[in-house]
Structure 1
């Protein structure tokens, strides 16, 4: 069953099983439907770094906050650099980056908080959103995992931070892998495949990398499955991992896709917060 579900408002996919199971938790992923932007972004662009008008992006962010029941002052985000840096967010950083790139959390792709009323957000247009939940300890996290961040094992960095800083048992952590580009649309070359082969440490390709079959030296990479493998390798039970089947490249009616739209596109937002 698809964990990210469309409701009456097509602008947001809700991580419905988490929201229904945990009182006060909100988590989900925006689409490109609705909102304000310049014409070529066609809708609910939430990225301040892609050439859209700042005032329209800010209005889109405010609209999302209103829909999920958080004040705009709670919107907190980072300057994503396709790395594996993880930051613990406190109330003093609440609101970082909500109206400007200048004051966002610097060079960070993973955010964790144990504080209420902070809405952690991150931005995507094919990369993999990773949601983390420690329900008993009431700790949440979000990570941006493109191929570089995945190969740098940002999922393991997130889990190490959760277990070392908060003494959480790793097998109690829940993870959701959100909408992103699928194996069907993600053709890569040996430059990309190389780092994953080092992670795999085997003579044969893992089942989440398959030779293209048409283009020599090209492969189809399943980033969602790569992250699921790395999470399980780090100790997360398979039953604690939810995986979205949405491919952002296949469904550009619903999502922005950097690959499908030749880099000229907006950004969706993954969000998680505890009221």
Structure 2
């Protein structure tokens, strides 16, 4: 497994009250790239979306979400109209962000890039945004071609190898080589919390390269039985390693969104909750 001790919590200030926070990978801090996964505090949304909800589609007050997005945009030193988003469908569709797509979905969900769970670009100063609340947010940075991708990997996207497909798309578009990339897997539901059915566990066993690293069992005291769990992060790491990404270039967050109070969790909060954002933006090389 990739090391889990290479993340840091940072703040995006400049507003009244508590600043918003985000987790970032320290391995990426030396590159011309702004990135992170936001946490749930430091915004204006009311319960149950309190308070830095960035999802326009969850039933939150739209004006509040716009204000939260403005705060994120200010941290990135861009206008909020630049935020570029996707209509995520828990699939494996990938879209390149070209100039004509910049700002898609910044203020309206129905204007976001349709049917996409991964976005990639080599445009400078264009922030990409994907929303999560237990699914695995994956950031890819290619320093040699100064290109990047953001990926939303739920269990369907994970088992469908969407990170691998994204790297292949970047290779076709820019010449990206997996062995030259740096990868960050952000806060998401971890193995100990991701209880699944026997049927889904078996599906992961069949799809995995090393099943014993992906599927296991944990005791549930309330049921008095062992129940299956799946390690989404390790499945993705296996895929990346098979593709040629060096282990030392993969950062995996240790934050479990299901148990961390600073995270939104769809599973913990029975679907009525906000969304964190994986954000990334290329800056000028110096």
Report what 2:142 is aligned to.
Answer: 134
Deviations 1:54-83, CA, capped at 9 Å, x for gaps? 111111111111123222122000000000
* Residue 264 (structure 1) shift: 1.0
Alignment of 1:164-175 (within 5 A): 164-175=172-183
The question of 1:199 aligning with 2:202 is answered no
TM-score, normalising length: structure 1: 0.93
CA distance in 2, matches of 1:43, 1:101: 19
Report what 1:50 is aligned to.
Answer: 58
The question of 1:124 aligning with 2:132 is answered yes
The question of whether the paired residues in 1 share the 8 Å contact of 2:201 and 2:229 is answered with: no
Report what 1:236 is aligned to.
Answer: 245
The question of 1:3 aligning with 2:6 is answered yes
The question of whether the paired residues in 2 share the 8 Å contact of 1:147 and 1:192 is answered with: no
CA distance in 2, matches of 1:159, 1:59: 33
* Residue 107 (structure 1) shift: 0.7
TM-score, normalising length: structure 2: 0.89
Cα RMSD, aligned residues only: 1.7
* Residue 240 (structure 1) shift: 1.4
Deviations 1:216-235, CA, capped at 9 Å, x for gaps? 58311111111111111222
The question of whether the paired residues in 2 share the 8 Å contact of 1:189 and 1:217 is answered with: no
* Residue 35 (structure 1) shift: 0.8
The question of 1:269 aligning with 2:277 is answered yes
* Residue 200 (structure 1) shift: 2.1
SS of residue in 2 equivalent to 1:186: coil
Correspondence for 1:160 among 148, 157, 168: 168
Change (3 A) 1:247 1:196: same
Report what 1:248 is aligned to.
Answer: 257
Alignment of 1:31-50 (within 5 A): 31-50=39-58
